[in-house]
A and B are shown apart, each in its own frame.
Chain A
Amino acid sequence: MTSTTTASTDRPAVPRRPARKPRRPLRFRLSRIAAWAVLVLLMAGTLLPFYWILRTAFSTNSALFTGDQSVLPAEPTWVNFRRVLGLASPEEVRAAGGSGAELQFWLYLRNSVVFATLVTVGQVTCCAMAAYAFARLHWRGRDAVFYLFLSTLMVPPIFVLIPNFVLLSEVGLLDTFAGLAAPYFFMTPFMVFFLRQFFLGMSSELEDAARMDGAGHPRIFLRICVPVMAAPLTTAAILAYVMAWNEFMWPLVAGSDPSVRVLTVGLSAFRSGQPQAAPDWTGLMAATVLGALPVVLLFLAMGRRIVDSIRFTGLK
């Protein structure tokens, strides 16, 4: 039964065994149709709010609440995207209900890429090694140490934020990429936990065979574990990248200088400047679209990679 091909409702049920009950394919087909219906519904529910994001991004602020809430954008315009990219003149910005804050979209984008890449490379490498130690090696106190690592997952982010901020301020690393990435570079409790759980599920046959051949742990880790775990490692990398991309509070306090300011922080200018006032809705939504586009593209590109890597590990 090979289900790796793209599914279709009339997939050829080639019975390898004539013993199979003849009734099955029909029932099977029906349940598949039902499953597809559910999936399509879920996808529609997921996507609807995105339509609203796009509609808002293409509307003008002044017309947003006045007219009827039609399906199409209110007074369609590109101006919000031009505002986000810093292409609109100050008069245009003010007319669109925008702020006086200066935006350097491409710089923030570069900074986000540097920050997220740095975090991903470091975190996945270091945590994979840790996961190997927690899942594939046998040593005294292993589970105790692992649960100690895990326990920091329960500490509220604000209590991690302030000491780390003070520390990096003391070593003079604020407003640098190194300082920005440091708390996520070596590990996060999430990533250690994630990779450890996947490393647990690895078959030990290959490992044993390699050990018989006299391979040391570093070799087993690099030559066996990493290739076999390619799929979860890719997933881990995507997760790390997206989480870093969307990080807000830490880059806000630790990287306020424009030279390291990331997109989430830069684009928060579209939230309300004043107390008790609504955000710049159209600018915020245009910023959201442009800010998320890189990770969406990355996700789609990497998604295919995952499938490939499964085929690769399929020989197992």
Chain B
Amino acid sequence: MSERWQRVRHHPGAVAALFLLPAGFGFVVFYLWPAIRALWMSFTDYNVLRGSGDWVGLQNYQDLAADPLFWHSMRVTALYVVLNIGVQTALALAMAVMMDRLTRSALVRGVLVLPWLIPQVVVGLLWLWMLDPRLGVVNHLLDWVGIGGQDFFGSPAQVIPTLAGVNTWRFVGYTALLIFAGLQMIPRHLYEAAALDGAGEWRTFWRVTLPLLRPVLALVLVLSVVGSFQVFDLVQVATGGIGGQPGGPANSSLVIYVYIFRHAFNFNNAGYAAAMSAVLAVLLAAVTFFIMRGLRGSRSDLA
């Protein structure tokens, strides 16, 4: 008995299985099973109200390929992702380095992460009001400094950059916090060694900080990209104004998740929504794969 236990104890697969047991249980029940179900749904005309669906084969995928709004919303989402990731990641990295090298004040971190502590729906409503073309405080300020009022959510050209800006406001501190947590993992003596070699802040950043940050940076990038593609609450609340149809004006902010949600709940077309989600999931998996490969995110130079 004890001997067998010893063997199990040292068999790597068995040990891993034991460590994975609780998380694995949750994974299979609450994530994997719904995912498989969603994939199955995409081959049916599943309808939430009915709670069932009949097999339709590839029909949903064919419809999707011919649906101009699907492609339109993918383009809109892509633009949002590019704007969002570009600004947010760079800014968050700078913030995190400052949190680490400039000041360790918990208050500074608390302030920067504050927007993330507010529920997304409130964030959307708050900015909808602050950016109201006529009654918003932001346009009052812009008028006052002489720039002049902007349409923000009300203009097809500005709505996506505005959404990206609001989202950056909400998440940049949080992203910085993740990176900051990664920076803490870097042993202090490496910085000291760099300083002794006469390396400045800038060089230290490129030579020490960034390479050692790779796994965490990969994490942040994957989470930001996936999260940005999945932007939903903010658009649902902040676009179209109070009472209007989200995604406006004229579908200019119809991001893919808003479109998916609409098909699932408003149009009673969950099968089609699942097919769109499947296409998006494949795309996201590919992007994730490239990020993890490109940054060698599964390998640490510290270990």
Contact = CB atoms under 8 A, between A and B. Distances in A.
A166 B30 CA distance: 11
Interface stretch (A74-82, A88-96, A122-130): A122-130
Given A3-B191, A155-B31, 9 more contacts: A38-B98, A69-B137, A129-B23, A155-B34, A155-B281, A159-B274, A197-B215, A276-B243, A299-B117
Q: Which of A17, A162, A190, A235 has the most CB of B within 10 A?
A: A162
10 smallest beta-carbon distances between A and B, as pairs: A186-B26, A276-B243, A303-B106, A130-B23, A159-B38, A154-B281, A133-B19, A152-B31, A126-B22, A187-B23
B207 to A, nearest CB: 15
B169 A45 contact: yes
Given A43-B112, A137-B16, A296-B114, A187 B303 contact: no
A92 to B, nearest CB: 23
Interface in B203-235: 212, 215-216, 218-219, 222-223, 226, 230, 232-233
Interface of A: 1-7, 16-17, 19-21, 24, 28, 31-32, 35-36, 38-39, 42-43, 45-47, 49-50, 52-53, 65, 69, 125-127, 129-130, 132-133, 137-140, 142-143, 145, 148-160, 162-164, 166-167, 182-183, 185-187, 189-190, 192-194, 197-198, 200-204, 216-217, 221, 231-232, 235, 242, 246, 248, 264, 268, 271-272, 275-279, 281, 284-285, 288, 291-292, 295-296, 299-300, 303-304, 306-307, 310, 314, 316
A75 to B, nearest CB: 17
20 contacts: A35-B98, A35-B102, A39-B98, A130-B20, A137-B12, A151-B285, A155-B38, A159-B38, A162-B34, A162-B270, A164-B30, A192-B23, A197-B215, A197-B218, A197-B297, A200-B303, A217-B19, A264-B119, A279-B242, A299-B110
A307 to B, nearest CB: 6
B169 A132 contact: no
Q: How large is the interface on B (under 10, 10 to 19, 20 to 34, 35 or more residues)?
A: 35 or more
Q: Which of A16, A53, A198, A314 has the most CB of B within 10 A?
A: A198
B65 to A, nearest CB: 19
A52 B219 contact: no
A139 B281 CA distance: 27
Contacts of A248: 119-121, 233
Given A43-B112, A50-B114, A133-B20, A156 B27 contact: no
A154 B280 contact: yes
A279 B104 CA distance: 39
B7 to A, nearest CB: 13
B118 to A, nearest CB: 6
A186 B27 contact: yes
B281 A150 contact: no
Interface stretch (B69-77, B80-88, B181-189, B246-254): B181-189
B27 A149 contact: yes
Contacts of A133: 15-16, 19-20
A137 B15 contact: yes
Contact of B12 (A69, A139, A157, A204): A139
Given A152-B27, A246-B119, A200 B298 contact: yes
Contacts of A49: 115, 126-127, 130, 169
A60 B86 CA distance: 40
B95 interface: yes
B73 to A, nearest CB: 13
B177 interface: yes
Nearest to A275: B243
A158 B260 contact: yes
Interface stretch (B55-63, B151-159, B193-201): B193-201
